[in-house]
Amino acid sequence: MGYLDWYLRRLVQTITYWVPAFSGGWNEPSGYTRSMISGRWEDKIIKFVDSAGNDRDSRAVIYVSEIVNTTGWLFLGTSITADPREVVNAFPIRKTEQYPTLRGNFINKALL
């Protein structure tokens, strides 16, 4: 049993993940595609540097079973709402990180 097996067994929470479907104008989403992924949600404040080079504090750290995008939103639990902006406690992904394992797989992390 490797570290990746140990890591994947700890992703036992259901996370709702929304990805925007962009329209042609003003970079505003025309809607969102919703999916459920496995993850581990930790309400934890850590310092990180965003894509603009600014120091930020996270509101949560989420370890996820797949690659997520910084244009997406995450929610702990299952939601049937189409727009994440209408869901209380759904937050935009502010940073993503990937860590390679020795076997060529990746551990994925999202910071909110």
DSSP string for residues in 18-87: EEEEE-SSTT-EEEEEEEEEEEEEE----EEE-TTS-EEE-S-EEEESS---TT-EEEES----S-GGGS
Residues spanned by the domain of 8: 3-111
The pTM score is 0.88
Of 95 and 28, the structure prediction assigns the larger pLDDT to 95
Say yes or no to pLDDT of 23 above 70. no
CA distance 97 to 39: 14
* Cα–Cα distance for residue pair 111/91, rounded to 1 Å: 10
Mean pLDDT of the chain: 89
Mean pLDDT, residues 33-58 taken together:
93
Q: What's the total number of domains in the chain?
A: 1
